[in-house]
Amino acid sequence: MLNRYPLWKYLLILLVVLVGLIYSLPNLFPEDPAVQISSDGGDFSLDERRLDRLESSLADADIDIQSVERDANSVLIRLNNPDDQIQARDMISESLGDGYVVALNLAQSTPAWLESLAASPMTLGLDLRGGVHFLLEVDMEAAVKQRLEVNASAMRETLRDERIRYRNTEVVDRSIHMDFMNAEDRDQARQLISRDFPNLEYANLERDRGAGLSMTLTDAAVKEIQDYAINQNLTTLRNRVNELGVAEPLVQRQGPARIVVELPGVQDTAAAKRIVGATANLEFRLEARPDTPESETESYAFRNQEGRTANLMRDVIITGDSVSNANRSFDQNGRPQVNINLDGTGGTLMNRATRTNIGRNMAVLFIEHKTRERTVLEDGKETVVRTPYTERSIISLATIQSALGNSFRITGLDSPTEAADLALLLRSGSLAAPIYFAQERTIGPSLGAKNIERGIFSVIVGGLLVVAFMLIRYKAFGVIANLALAVNLVLLVAAMSLLGATLTLPGIAGIVLTLGMAVDANVLIFERIREELRTGLSAQQAIHAGYERAVTSIVDANITTLLVALILFSIGTGPVKGFAVTLSLGILTSMFTGIMVSRALVNLSIGGKPVKKLWI
SS3 labels along 135-151? EEEECHHHHHHHHHHHH
pLDDT tens string 532-542: 888 888 888 88
d(CA 233, CA 431): 5
Tell me, what amino acid is at 213? Answer: L
Q: What is the pLDDT of residues 505-521, one digit of tens each?
A: 888 888 888 887 788 88
pLDDT surpassing 80 at residue 103:
no
Q: In the structure, what pLDDT confidence band is assigned to residue 319 with cuts at 50, 70 and 90?
A: confident
Q: Which amino acid is at 32?
A: D
Q: Can 32-107 and 280-412+422-442 be said to share one CATH topology?
A: no
Residue 265, pLDDT score: 66
Position 577 pLDDT exceeds 60: yes
Question: What are the pLDDT digits (tens) for 578-594?
Answer: 788 888 888 889 889 98
**Residues sharing a CB contact under 8 Å with residue 313, sequence separation 6 or more, in sequence order:** 285, 286, 287, 288, 292, 296, 297, 298
CA 533 centroid distance within chain: 57
Q: How far apart are CA 354 and CA 345, in angstroms?
A: 14
pTM over 0.75? The answer is: no
Q: pLDDT-derived band of residue 41, with 50, 70 and 90 as boundaries?
A: low
What is residue 458's three-state secondary structure? Answer: helix
What average pLDDT is seen over the chain? 82
Q: Is the dihedral of CA 96, 100, 103, 108 positive or negative?
A: negative
At residue 430, the pLDDT reads 64
Mean pLDDT for the stretch of residues 302-323: 82
Q: Is the pLDDT of residue 42 over 60?
A: no
For 249-285, write each residue's pLDDT tens digit.
Answer: 778 888 888 888 888 766 566 667 766 766 667 788 9
Q: Coil, helix or strand for 103?
A: strand
pLDDT above 70 coverage of the chain, percent: 90
* Residue 46 burial (10 A CB sphere; 0-12, 13-18, 19+): middle
How many helical (H) and strand (E) elements, i.e. helices and strands, does the chain have? 17, 23
Cβ(445)–Cβ(377) below 8 Å: no
Residue 21: the pLDDT is: 94
Beta strands in 197-257 (DSSP E): 200-206, 211-217, 250-254
| Cα-Cα end-to-end distance for the chain | 22
* pLDDT in the model for residue 247: 53
Burial classification of residue 345, based on how many CB atoms lie within 10 Å of its CB (0-12 exposed, 13-18 middle, 19 or more buried): exposed
Task: Spell out the domain ranges in the chain.
Answer: 7-26+444-606, 32-107, 140-221, 280-412+422-442
Fold of 140-221: Alpha-Beta Plaits (3.30.70)
The answer to whether residues 416 and 336 touch, using CB atoms and an 8 Å cutoff, is yes
Predicted confidence at residue 446, as pLDDT, reads 63
CATH number of 280-412+422-442: 3.30.1360.200
How confident is residue 194, by pLDDT bands cut at 50, 70 and 90? confident
CA distance 432 to 449: 39
Is the pLDDT at 376 greater than 80? The verdict is no
- Quick check: 14 and 485 in contact, CB under 8 A? no
Q: What is the 3-state secondary structure (H, E, C) of 243-310?
A: HHCCCCCEEEEECCCEEEEEEECCCCHHHHHHHHCCCCEEEEEEECCCCCCHHHEEEEEECCCCCCEE
Helix axes 445-499, 575-592, angle to 10 degrees: 50
CATH superfamily of 7-26+444-606: Multidrug efflux transporter AcrB transmembrane domain (1.20.1640.10)
The residue-averaged pLDDT of 361-379 equals 77
Q: CB neighbours of 577 closer than 8 A, spacing ≥ 6? A: 568, 569
6 CB contacts (<8 Å, ≥6 apart)? Answer: none
Tell me phi and psi for residue 338, to 5 degrees. -120, 120
Q: Taking residues 54-76, what's their average pLDDT?
A: 86
Contacts of 26 (CB under 8 A, 6+ apart): 110, 114, 119, 120, 121, 497
**Which CATH number does 32-107 carry?**
3.30.70.260
Task: Return the pLDDT at 44.
Answer: 66
Closest-CA residue to 172 (of 223, 216, 114, 119) = 216
Q: State which H helix or E strand residue 390 sits in.
A: strand 381-399
Among candidates 505, 430, 605, which has minimal Cα distance to 5? 605
Q: What is the mean pLDDT of residues 435-450?
A: 72
